Amino acid sequence: MICAEKLQRLMMAVVLFIACCLMSVGSIYGTILLGFVIAMTVVWAITDFCPSIWLFSKLVGHCKRSH
């Protein structure tokens, strides 16, 4: 079962792959997309809030923790 945190990581990998592909053909959009992902990761690190995890948790729920 997919959960918010795993879905967010999968989405980030796909977006980074697309940015890499765009950058490899010389598109400025790849650099912009990469900058956006970096900015959102910094926001997540500083504030401990990730908009995509918040949205995905509303749609599919959080991952169950095994403590």
Q: Per residue of the chain (67 residues), give pLDDT as tens.
A: 788 899 999 999 999 999 999 999 999 999 999 999 999 999 999 999 988 888 999 998 888 876 5
How far is the C-alpha of 63 from the C-alpha of 1, rounded, in Å? 9
Which pLDDT value is given to residue 61? 86
CB neighbour burial string for 7-32, b if at least 16 within 10 angstroms, e if fewer: bbeeeeeebeeebeebbeeeeeebee
pLDDT attached to residue 21: 97
Q: What pLDDT shows up at residue 62?
A: 84
The structure's pTM equals: 0.81
Signed CA dihedral, 55, 56, 58, 63: sign only:
negative
